[in-house]
Structure 1
Amino acid sequence: MTVINLAFMAFAAVSLGWLSMRALRDHRMALAERSGLLDSLTVLFSDVNIRLGRDAFPVLVGKLPDQRSVKIELIPDTLVFRRLPQLWLQVTLAETDIQRRPSIGALARPTGAEFYSIVHELPQWIDPPQADVPLLVRGDGKATAAQIECVSALFRSLFSDPTVKEAAITPRVVRLTRQAAQGDRGSHLILRQTRFPIGAISPEQVKAAIADAEILRQVLPGERSAAVSAVA
């Protein structure tokens, strides 16, 4: 074995070791940054608890001023081929009591791969309203024609915002899902890594999602039925 070959092997070993250490360091930094994405939201709610999910993204649970529970989740979505990874911000408002109202929801640009969606779980297909994006609208079959008309008008307005992915209401919860960030193109195309260029979820983003969810709740206010124990 020549000196040149030995030198090349040594260089390759050092380079591989450096790349491995760099990748490990970057991964640890990414996890540390990810864990604090919801920290700025603690001022919005009372009784706040933040935990990390299995994907190391934080989940926040707290209380609104009227003591309804609110759950804030960050959901990484890498399932759709030929599309950059998406990070969804999902806001769920739970009723303190089960409401006598139908379940109905709309999902923008449906692919069938939305594992986080309420809409895919509903049995009734409803003709979608004319909107700026393709919509899948489904319900539980209990909504009246007047209720569907009112909700459809709201869906037209909500989904004029291209960041809105899903809006849904059930007897237990109101849920709104928005785009929080899109995966970094270079990391995804070259390194096949999922990295989101975002430092924190702003209170303004969450306030906007809650406001839209409250509008949907007002369209189908319902009536008290029974106690609800937790956020869905």
Structure 2
Amino acid sequence: MSLTFLGALALVALAVAVLGTVHAGARNAAMRDRARVFDDVLSAVEDPVVLRGDGIDYPELRGRVGGHPVRLRVIVDALVLRKLPVLWLEVVVHQRVPVTGTVSVLLRPHGGEYFSSNPGFRFELPTPASFPRTARVAASTPDTSLDVLEPLAAFVSEPETKEVGVGPGGLRAVRLLASADQGAYRVSRRASFSGARVPAFELLRTVELLTQREVTT
């Protein structure tokens, strides 16, 4: 075996080792960054409990806001071709709501919303005039009233809103948190959301709107 061939093998092995080190470093940095996604809202949440994700998965936050039990989850949405991946923030408020079934308003549906139960609901309802025309309104039962959603029309119409749902056990909103770094995505086709943090005002406002008196009576 020639020295030239052995040298080439050594260079390949070195390159593989360097790439592995770089990949591990990038992965660890991503894990540390994602673990901090709720840092800015912890002071606004009573009795916060952060459930760490596996690997580079985002954590989940549970606690109380304004006396209401809440759950926050960050959703990575990279299923739509030719569109920049995005992060959604899911806010769930657990409380009793006087409705007979679950109703969901999904904005700009494209068929890839794996995080939404809306596509699985059999009963599609007429979209109220106060809602965006791109909304798909669907319910788990045919006799579900939309009155409970009317007070949220302005919130539903905001471009950051992806979905609003109401059921007997509580209310749910999915809002835009961040878009992937465009430059990095074009080069590597990997979604980078470095520095994404949930703003405290976004959480407080969402919970306040979801729990306003008109919605729960």
Task: Give the alignment's TM-score, normalised by structure 2.
Answer: 0.84
1:133 Cα deviation after fit: 5.8
Inter-partner Cα distance in structure 2 for 1:70 and 1:149: 23
Paired residue total: 213
| 1:58 corresponding residue in structure 2 | 59
| 1:77 corresponding residue in structure 2 | 77
| 2:25 corresponding residue in structure 1 | 25
Query: Which of residues 159, 165, 177 is equivalent to 2:162?
Result: 165
- Is residue 184–residue 191 contact of structure 2 (8 Å, CA) maintained in 1? yes
Q: What are structure 2's unaligned runs of at least 5 residues? A: none
- Is residue 167–residue 213 contact of structure 1 (8 Å, CA) maintained in 2? no
- Is residue 176–residue 212 contact of structure 1 (8 Å, CA) maintained in 2? no
User: Residues 133 and 33 of structure 1: is their aligned pair in 2 closer, same or farther, counting only changes over 3 Å?
Assistant: farther
The secondary structure found in structure 1 opposite 2:210 is helix
- Is residue 148–residue 216 contact of structure 2 (8 Å, CA) maintained in 1? no
| 2:47 corresponding residue in structure 1 | 47
Inter-partner Cα distance in structure 1 for 2:64 and 2:202: 17
User: Residues 168 and 195 of structure 1: is their aligned pair in 2 closer, same or farther, counting only changes over 3 Å?
Assistant: same
Q: CA RMSD in A?
A: 2.5
1:167 Cα deviation after fit: 0.7
Q: Whose helix proportion is higher, 1 or 2?
A: 1
Query: Which of residues 192, 197, 203 is equivalent to 1:195?
Result: 192
| 1:204 corresponding residue in structure 2 | 201
The secondary structure found in structure 1 opposite 2:106 is strand
Inter-partner Cα distance in structure 2 for 1:212 and 1:195: 30
Deviations, residues 34-59 of structure 1 (Å, cap 9, x unaligned): 11111222211222111123452111
Q: What are structure 1's unaligned runs of at least 5 residues? A: 223-232
The secondary structure found in structure 1 opposite 2:62 is strand
- Is residue 86–residue 182 contact of structure 1 (8 Å, CA) maintained in 2? yes
1:10 Cα deviation after fit: 4.0
- Is residue 105–residue 167 contact of structure 1 (8 Å, CA) maintained in 2? yes
Inter-partner Cα distance in structure 1 for 2:155 and 2:62: 25
1:189 Cα deviation after fit: 3.1
Deviations, residues 90-138 of structure 1 (Å, cap 9, x unaligned): 110001xx43324322111112221221423433211123555611111
Q: Percent identity?
A: 22
1:162 Cα deviation after fit: 1.1
- Is residue 108–residue 135 contact of structure 1 (8 Å, CA) maintained in 2? yes
1:159 Cα deviation after fit: 3.3
The secondary structure found in structure 1 opposite 2:202 is helix
User: Residues 200 and 220 of structure 1: is their aligned pair in 2 closer, same or farther, counting only changes over 3 Å?
Assistant: closer
1:9 Cα deviation after fit: 4.8
Inter-partner Cα distance in structure 1 for 2:181 and 2:19: 20
Query: Which of residues 152, 155, 163 is equivalent to 1:154?
Result: 152
- Is residue 184–residue 190 contact of structure 2 (8 Å, CA) maintained in 1? yes
How do 1:120-159 residues align onto structure 2 when only pairs under 5 Å count?
A: 120-130=119-129, 131-132=131-132, 134-139=134-139, 140-144=141-145, 148=146, 151-152=149-150, 154-155=152-153, 157-159=154-156
User: Residues 86 and 35 of structure 1: is their aligned pair in 2 closer, same or farther, counting only changes over 3 Å?
Assistant: same
Decide which moves more: 53-62 or 114-123: 114-123
